[in-house]
Amino acid sequence: MSFPWASQYNPTNPAMKWIDERLPLPRLVYNAIGAGYPVPRNLNYFWNFGVLAGFALVVQIISGIILAMHYAPEATVAFNSTEHIMRDVNWGWMLRYMHANGASFFFIVIYIHIFRGLYFSSYKAPREMIWLLGMVIYLLAMATAFMGYVLPWGQMSFWGAKVITGLFSAIPLIGPTLQEWLLGGFAPDNAALNRFFSLHYLLPFVIAGVVILHVWALHIPGSSNPTGVEVKQESDTVPFHPYYTAKDGFGLGVYLVIFAAVMFFAPNFLGHADNYIAANPLSTPAHIVPEWYFWPFYAILRAFTFDFLFIPAKLLGVLAMFASILLLFFLPWLDRSPVRSGRYRPLFRPFFWVFVVVVLILGYCGGAPAEEPYVMISQLASAYYFAHFLIILPIISSIERPDPLPASITEAVLGKDGEEAPAAIDTIATTGGAATQPAE
């Protein structure tokens, strides 16, 4: 893997050398996120979000392990134990707000990361596997977040568990039995709470494992870039460290400022007031919605209001909701345009922005009450959602005339006869990395 000009790990520190000879872990890190990983020099800020997603996952795991030290997964005490965390545990309020808001921020980051991939077609060959593994992470994260939201055992937790497992009851024949099996009862109770806690604890570590695969797969072709033109020569890249470590450090700072502002000053803004009411199996809140990151899919689910032929609306909604997520797995084979970056795809671009707006509309409708006009708007928006991926993208890829691509990343950055003479770069490059010394 990697490019021939990648810098080789050559430890001068005797301790590192000793370790590296016995377990080449330092080498692995060096080649993965150190100076040994050449990265296109032209990445924009959207490329920060991969590292941020990894960071957000670590925050969830650390804060989660700590919450689990104080939380009690038992239906009669779960709600009180969360309040115990908020009131009596040292810094408990901070750790809980960190975890609850951290989940939202994890999804904000993941969504930006995914839309980056959609615009710059990061899913195309040779990066299909990276995309597929990313979708697996996304699915696992949704399952994890859903089960985590059940744990505090408030009204939204309880009714969320009931409604989401209720989706499975739409499956013909086995549905109702399946729902009982998932819950371990006729309604959410101890059995469900305990298994959700067990899985909520487990899945993040599975996610971490898949993240490693995701990054491994990334290092085979290397990172893509905003031009979508593959790396051709050394002047196209810079070593990850220190260039992108510095940029990611800055990105992390900005992320943390926003995260801290929400977590400390509006910690319940992204949450739902009803979850501060203890679960009550006898009364459903007037307006039940999942967490905001599920809203677009919730809107699709609710857009199916009429039976069609012999298929009941409930089943259609469930099928469509799952299909809307699963179709993303097939994206690399739906969009066959040889050009990656949206920058050079004049026909694709407007449809992409319509798609972004449609998803925002779906999100808004998913969080709104199930009334008109939201249902009608969701129906049109959902129709576009499916059409975009399954009809429009495949058609565009065969009729579009892409704009001319730059010959290389270097050319895109420096112009055809950039001040940074490629020849000079190449010669210096052979000495091992002082490539950046010549005055520009």
Partner 1 sequence: MIRNLGILVGLFFTGVLLYSFLMGAYTYLTEEHVETAEHMFHEHPKSLSQSSDGVFGKFDTAQLQRGYGVYKEVCSACHSLEHVAFRDLQAIGYNEAEVKAIAASFQVPAIDPETGEASTRDGLAADKFPAVYPNDVAARAANNNAVPPDLSLMTKARHNGPAYVYSLLTGYQNPPKKLAEEFPDSMPGTGLHYNPYFANLNLAMAPPITAEGQVSYADGTKASVDQMSKDVSAFLTWTAEPKMEKRKQTGLAVLAFLLIFTILAYLSYRNIWADKKH
Partner 2 sequence: MTEAVSTDPQTVDADTQNEEGVRRRDFINVAAVSFAGVGGAAVLYPLITQMAPSADVLALASIEVDVSALEPGQAIKTIFRKQPLFIRNLTPKEIEEANAVDVASLREPQTLAERTAPGHENILITMGVCTHLGCVPLGAAQGEVKGEFDGYFCPCHGSHYDTAGRIRKGPAPTNLEVPAVEFLSDTVIKVG
Helix (H) or strand (E) holding 40: strand 38-40
Q: In the chain, how many H helices and how many E strands?
A: 18, 2
Beta carbon nearer to partner 1, 39 or 207:
39
How many Å separate Cα 288 from the centre of its chain?
25
Nearer to partner 1 among residue 46 and residue 330 (C-beta): 330
* Residue 106 partner contact from ligand HEM, partner 2, partner 1, none using kind-dependent CB cut-offs of 5 to 8 Å: ligand HEM
Does residue 272 touch ligand HEM according to CB under 6 A?
no
The piece of 50-58, 107-115, 175-183, 242-250 that touches partner 2 (CB under 8 A) is 242-250
Q: Residue 39 or residue 110: which is nearer to partner 2 going by CB?
A: 39
**Residue closest to 81 by CA, chosen among 91, 101, 67, 95:** 67
Burial 45-54 (b: 16+ CB within 10 A, else e): ebbbbbbbbb
CA dist list (Å): 69 to 95, 96, 146 = 11, 12, 20
Element (H, E) at 38: strand 38-40
With CB cut-offs between 5 and 8 Å by kind, which of partner 1, partner 2, ligand HEM, none does residue 254 bind?
partner 1
- Provide the 10 A C-beta neighbour count for residue 27: 19
Interface with partner 2: number of residues (CB under 8 A)? 33
Among 20, 31, 33, 34, binds partner 2 (CB under 8 A): 34
The burial class, CB within 10 Å (0-12 / 13-18 / 19+), for 317 is buried
Question: Judged by CB under 8 A, which of 413, 421, 428, 429 binds partner 1?
Answer: 413
Cα-Cα-Cα-Cα torsion 187, 188, 189, 194, nearest 10 degrees, comes to 140
Q: Is 291 a catalytic residue?
A: yes
User: Radius of gyration over alpha carbons of the chain, in Å?
Assistant: 25
> Per the residue annotation, which of 162, 241, 247, 388 is the catalytic one?
247
Q: Which of 426, 411, 43 is nearest to 243 (CA)?
A: 43
x/- mask, partner 2, residues 109-138, rule CB under 8 A, reads ------------------------------
86 interacts with partner 1 by CB under 8 A = yes
d(CA 193, CA 208): 23
Sole binder of ligand HEM in the list 82, 155, 165, 378 (CB under 6 A):
82
Among candidate residues 291, 324, 335, 341, the one labeled active-site is 291
Residue 301: both structure tokens together? 């689910």
Choosing from 248, 274, 335, 411, which is the catalytic residue?
A: 248
Among 125, 336, 360, 427, binds partner 1 (CB under 8 A): 336
**By CB under 6 A, what part of segment 103-122 binds ligand HEM?**
103, 106
Positions that interact with partner 2 (CB under 8 A): 7, 9-12, 30, 34-35, 62, 66, 69-70, 84, 87-92, 94-95, 239, 241-242, 246, 249, 431-437
Positions that interact with ligand HEM (CB under 6 A): 57, 60-61, 64-65, 67-68, 71, 82, 96, 99-100, 103, 106, 141, 144-145, 148-149, 151-152, 200-201, 204, 207, 271
Where in the sequence numbering do the catalytic residues fall?
219, 223, 247-248, 291
